[in-house]
Structure 1
Amino acid sequence: MPTMHAVVKGKVQGVWFRAWTSDLAAEMKLSGWVRNMSDGNVELEASGSRDELDEFLERLHDGPPLARVTEVETQYRESDAHQGAFRVVR
């Protein structure tokens, strides 16, 4: 299954970015996780079809209303592991 790892940069902490990402992923039926990083960025991993991941990535560039995304670094890989429901991790 295609899996995307991303680091979202900009004003993305303290603006509901993780909850928004989790809600969007659940709506799109993606599995994976999202978490804050100590450097102020947000890291996530999502699994689904390549088309779904491309749409998810496009939406990540916008983020929730209070966020200001400046960059999204991404890497793709194939994964056999099932990640379960998308979740916020600490």
Structure 2
Amino acid sequence: MANQCRRALVTGRVQGVWFRGSAQQQAKKLGITGWAKNLPDGRVEVLMCGDVASLDSLQQWLKKGPPLARVDDLKVSEESHQAFSEFTTG
């Protein structure tokens, strides 16, 4: 199946708990490209591109995050496909 991209906004205790670094590790394991960054309002934004099954897996992981995180809400939307060479954090 063709690759697609999704944008996720993660709300909760998701900054300062190694959320972006853990998301990067998960994405690399799944062959997903894109990025994760902290937002000024305390959320983390993730743009992820890959095959549907891998995106579904990362989306499930984003609902929980790493052990020190607390995810209160996850909003995911489809995005137009973009090409990235890797998954980065910013």
Same fold by TM (over 0.5)? yes
CA offsets, 1:26-76, max 9 Å, x none? 111100000000000000100001111111100110100000001111101
| Aligned-residue offset at 1:82 | 1.2
Distance 1:45 1:74 in 2: 10
Task: Please show how residues 31-70 of structure 1 align to structure 2 within 5 Å.
Answer: 31-70=33-72
Distance 2:89 2:28 in 1: 11
- 2:13 aligned to 4, 11, 14, which one? 11
Q: Runs in 1 of length 4+ with deviation above 4 angstroms?
A: none
**TM value normalised by structure 1:** 0.93
Gap runs ≥5 in structure 2? none
Identical positions, percent: 34
| Structure 2 letter corresponding to 1:54 | D
The match for 1:87 is 88
- 2:26 aligned to 24, 27, 45, which one? 24
Distance 1:52 1:22 in 2: 13
CA RMSD of aligned residues (A): 0.9
| Structure 1 letter corresponding to 2:79 | R
